Amino acid sequence: MTNISYVDLSNHWKHEKQELLEIIDEVMSNGIFVGGAIIEEFEKKVVDYLGVKHCVALNSGTDALVCAMIGFNIGPGDEVITPPNSFIASTAAIAHIRAIPVFADVLPDQTIDPEKIRMAITDKTKAIMPVHLTGRMCRMDEINAIAKEYGLVVIEDAAQSIGSRFNGVMSGAASDIGCFSTHPLKNLNACGDGGFAVTNDDAVAAKIKSMRNHGLVDRNTVEEFGYVSRMDTIQAAILNYRIDHLDDVIAKRRSNAMLYREVLDASHLYIPDESEEYFNTFHTFVIQVDRRDELAAYLANHGIQTAIHYPVPIHLQPAAKNLGYGLGDFEATETQSKRILTLPINQFITEEQVRFIADMVNSFFEDSGDE
Amino acid sequence: MKVRYSYLKQQFEHADDLWQELREFVETGDFTLGKPLTKFEESFAELMDSKYAVGVNSGTDAIKLALKVQGIGPGDEVITAANTFVATVGAICELGAVPVFVDCDDTFCMNADLVEVAMTKKTKAIVPVHFTGYMTDMRKIIKIAEKHDLVVVEDACQSILGAIDGKKAGTWASTGAFSLHPLKNLNVWSDGGVIVTSDEGLAEKLRLQRNHGLVDRDTVGVMGCNSRLDTFQAVVGNWLIPEAKNISDRRIANAAYFDQHLGALDPITIPPRPDDYRIVFHLYIIFAEDRDGLLQYCLDQGIEAKVHYPVPIYRQPGLAHLGHKKGDFPVSDEHTKKIITFPCDQHLSREEMDYVIKTVKDYYEQAS
């Protein structure tokens, strides 16, 4: 039996071993572990890649969201609208600064529904935090229009969507500020936690730069208290190498996705369509099916590891109890949470493996159709 | 001769075995809360005579999370030292709590006798800062905390393996916060921190907080954050931890040598060195007459002397809303004029120390 794991970081390492060992060796012999030219080089590369004015390297994608909100003076009691089907970090970042997460349900493609955003706006609303889940961008034209109408800040959670585009605009560069993660499981990944925020706003960028380093303006002056959220120099060095190869990673994931679409029998499942507007980068490849758990078990029995992103919506998590939501509040999210299944799509999977997985999905439905 | 302040280049000059361990580690892909982190946490707890250690992203986060899991939040008053590094106060402010300052004494730590004066009905916690490698008098702090039912988080970021009466910094209170920043006595290659506790419930809460509140992959028990100690950095920590005791011993020996020779100079005053304290000298600070002149002369002679810190935290613009003014904490204020920091690390050679001593001597001789 072939074994196809959902993710295999050691495999990733094998492909780049020679280059990365040299890079780590160089950083180590320099003795510069916090800040320095390597961080600046990374920030410059991101600025060039995304076509934005500023990038601030941080310790994680979660911290990028926290810093972005504080950068735009969002604080205790302010409401921030975000989808309930995300990884916990988006909502937790809002809770962390003692703002109030307000959920808006999602479209069939799992991105936040602009009309639901409009309905969730109150006089306390200060910001919208769309999440480009799976590497597919939210409908930023409509979201920005709503934000403009109500005078709201838009903070993109682009943790899963580096390089994605909607109507030609890069994720993270499509609003006031974009927040990215470079966690080991991301398309642009380090060997530990990391993240960054991008913006065209000079003052906000300067504020976040100070905030990541205790709020220090210089060695001896604190204007406003901050955090410690610096990207590790060693991780930045790894990212400097990998960002040069990011387009290859994205191309491979996109070609895997195309192959899935070609081989999977569409009559058994739903995959968001890929119209001209979208350039998706497939951090994850998610199908929506009936009998999801049975399919996952069937695939596991054939050596195929799958995942679910995410089986329990945030509004139904124990930690969200005090937000006052309950079952039935977000129908699309809740229905999808029972139907979504993530198939392996990373850049190291072969065409043969993708075909095998797609065939197994098809045969699950065909075989059971015969019963 | 040049006497540098940072010794990181020397520290990793002979690290072929670490290099090998890192090669092996990166091949595993075990990057997030991986096995080397668990190993580091076990070794660190053992080193500290504590039951549990939880690795986090920084010393600042260690203080913040330790306060948070013990219920400190918006509006609560937290008593801390008027002369600490910004991180202590930043951590308190991040929680929406209010820092209330207490002046230090000549050990650079909070004067425990002034703590009760600073208390109000809103006081919920004390964060004694074991500044420079000294320790706050924890015998007194613990008594006060018990009497008034206050949470205590020790800011032990600068005092790894410091002790009073043989009991280590960070283990006197329910929780102790440490930093692994590259300039600390036990360090990694980036930001990093650790919290020690012997309370299993607190350890569990801390583990939740640092990892998004995730009880398991799909269940969020509490709203948390992302403050993990990188597993990559834990490999570095594991490599260095057997050296921790030697590092502090070496610093103590260097400080004794400086004390003996610099203390013999009239314009220099050595801070108190109580017998029951084990001071680990993250920073070697002494009092000097004509400090600014001496500092400039040392810098001109290639010695990277420093001042920790020229403006006490309580007078920073970031705390203007608290309404403090110069003179509120006279000992801290007085120190800013007299203190000077010399390199004292484990990689400092006898020649370098003698050069520092000679330079200080030369300065005062030439001035007189």
Q: Which of B33, B220, B311, B319 to mutate to test the interface with A (most CBs of A within 10 A)?
A: B220
Kindly state whether B209 is in contact with chain A, defined as any CB-CB distance less than 8 angstroms: no
**B19 and B126 co-located in one domain:** yes
Residue B3, in any domain of the structure: no
Kindly state whether A60 is in contact with chain B, defined as any CB-CB distance less than 8 angstroms: yes
Contact B60 A214 (CB under 8 A): yes
**B139 and B203 co-located in one domain:** yes
Residue carrying structure tokens 């295999």: A8
What residues of chain A lie within 8 A of the CB of B189, using their CB? 27-28, 33, 232-234
pLDDT at B32: 92
Name the pLDDT band for B10 (thresholds 50, 70, 90): confident
Contact B220 A215 (CB under 8 A): no
Kindly state whether B320 is in contact with chain A, defined as any CB-CB distance less than 8 angstroms: no
| Structural domain ending residue among the three candidates B207, B223, B243 | B243
**B93 and B168 co-located in one domain:** yes
Residue carrying structure tokens 């850049």: A347
**B234 and B289 co-located in one domain:** no
Q: Residue A28's closest chain B neighbor by CA?
A: B12
**B164 and B264 co-located in one domain:** no
Q: Which of A10, A22, A33 to mutate to test the interface with B (most CBs of B within 10 A)?
A: A33
Contact B221 A9 (CB under 8 A): no
Number of neighbours of residue A299 by Cβ within 10 angstroms:
20
Kindly state whether A319 is in contact with chain B, defined as any CB-CB distance less than 8 angstroms: yes
User: Mean pLDDT across the stretch B42-48?
Assistant: 98
Contact B220 A8 (CB under 8 A): no
Q: Which CATH architecture group holds A9-243?
A: 3-Layer(aba) Sandwich (3.40)
- A315 vs A328: CA distance, rounded Å: 10
- A178 vs A282: CA distance, rounded Å: 18
Q: Which of B31, B63, B88 to mutate to test the interface with A (most CBs of A within 10 A)?
A: B31
Residue B80, in any domain of the structure: yes
What's the pLDDT tens digit per position in B201-227?
Answer: 999 999 999 999 999 989 999 999 999
What distance in Å separates residue A269's CA from the closest CA in chain B? 24
Decide: B303 and B309 in contact? Cβ < 8 Å: no
pLDDT at A370: 45
Task: Please identify every stretch of chain A with a pLDDT value under 70, giving residue numbers as ranges.
Answer: 1-2, 31-32, 369-371
Contact B57 A193 (CB under 8 A): yes
Domain boundary assignment for chain A: 9-243, 246-370
| Structural domain ending residue among the three candidates B243, B272, B301 | B243
Residue B190, in any domain of the structure: yes
**B109 and B84 co-located in one domain:** yes
**B265 and B201 co-located in one domain:** no
**B217 and B137 co-located in one domain:** yes
> Topology of domain A246-370, per CATH?
Aspartate Aminotransferase, domain 1 (3.90.1150)
Q: Whole-model pTM?
A: 0.92
Residue B1, in any domain of the structure: no
**B208 and B248 co-located in one domain:** no
pLDDT at A23: 86
Contact B317 A10 (CB under 8 A): no
Range of the domain at B14: 8-243
Kindly state whether B322 is in contact with chain A, defined as any CB-CB distance less than 8 angstroms: no
Q: How many domains does chain B have?
A: 2
| Structural domain ending residue among the three candidates B195, B217, B243 | B243
What's the pLDDT tens digit per position in B126-161?
Answer: 999 999 999 999 999 999 999 999 999 999 999 999
pLDDT at A238: 94
Q: Residue B24's closest chain A neighbor by CA?
A: A10
Kindly state whether B313 is in contact with chain A, defined as any CB-CB distance less than 8 angstroms: yes
Beta-carbon contacts below 8 Å between A and B: 181
pLDDT at A371: 46
pLDDT at A1: 60
Contact A235 B181 (CB under 8 A): no
Decide: A154 and A176 in contact? Cβ < 8 Å: yes
What distance in Å separates residue A286's CA from the closest CA in chain B? 17
**B142 and B283 co-located in one domain:** no
CATH number at residue B287: 3.90.1150.10
Residue B2, in any domain of the structure: no
CATH number at residue B199: 3.40.640.10
Residue B266, in any domain of the structure: yes
Q: Residue B182's closest chain A neighbor by CA?
A: A33
What's the pLDDT tens digit per position in A169-219?
Answer: 999 999 999 999 999 999 999 999 999 999 999 999 999 999 999 888 887
pLDDT at A219: 79
